[in-house]
């Protein structure tokens, strides 16, 4: 069993690549969606992703309890595609619906701390099935303005590093082209 980490910038082609990898596995595919339609623009994005997927793929939506859901879904005869870790991260960071200061330190929610640790614990366990994780690379531009934006970029970078370290294959996608950073290429 294996774990693959596919990451890149916005509209880089990372989700499409992850979907092709899942399809090529020949296994039952479960699409584990971490986003929810908070506004019309996000709802339209979700619809575009849904229309691209084969109709026989099962979709499971989970905004926060990612590790518990993966433990339940992962089996040797299926592949789980998680799209995406950075939306999951924002769900955790903003789960308390609190106002963050423009300057100064950001206190992360207990849910963030617990769920992030649970995901890394899951990745440290022997693989019960194949998983493909999709994530955004948010740290290649300028340092964001505002404390919460910087905290998000920092946490996304830390999460990407921790997940990549635990996956057998890591692929970076730019302009629709994958670059194998670890393990086999496409």
Q: Which residue(s) pair with 56 in the sheet? A: none
What would the two tokens of residue 181 be?
Answer: 């950073």
Give strand pairing partners of 8.
Answer: 136, 173
Do residues 166 and 120 lie in contact, with contact meaning Cβ atoms separated by under 8 Å? Answer: yes
49 closest CA partner among 87, 76, 79, 77? 87
Q: Which of 36, 49, 56, 97 is catalytic?
A: 49
Number of helices and strands (H, E) in the chain? Answer: 6, 7
CB neighbours of residue 89 within 10 Å: 25
| Residue 144, both tokens | 């964001």
Residues in the chain: 186
Active site residue 56: no
Cα 19 → chain centroid: 13
Q: Which residues are catalytic?
A: 49
């Amino acid at each position: 069993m294996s774990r693959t980490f596919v990451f890149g910038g916005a509209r880089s082609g990372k989700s499409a690549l992850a979907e092709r990898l899942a399809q090529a596995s020949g296994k039952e595919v479960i699409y584990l969606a971490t986003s929810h339609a908070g506004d019309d623009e996000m709802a339209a994005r979700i619809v575009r992703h849904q229309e691209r997927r084969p109709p026989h793929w099962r979709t499971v939506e989970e905004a926060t309890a990612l590790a518990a859901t993966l433990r339940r879904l992962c089996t040797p005869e299926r592949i789980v595609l998680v799209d995406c870790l950075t939306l999951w991260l924002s769900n955790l960071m903003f789960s308390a619906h609190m106002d963050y200061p423009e300057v100064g330190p950001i206190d992360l929610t207990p849910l963030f701390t617990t769920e992030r640790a649970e995901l890394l614990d899951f990745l440290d366990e022997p693989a019960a099935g194949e998983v493909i994780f999709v994530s955004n690379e948010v740290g290649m531009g300028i340092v964001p303005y505002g404390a919460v934006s910087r905290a998000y970029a920092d946490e996304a970078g830390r999460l990407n590093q921790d997940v990549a370290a635990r996956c057998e294959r890591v692929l970076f996608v730019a302009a629709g082209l994958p670059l194998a950073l670890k393990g086999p290429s496409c």
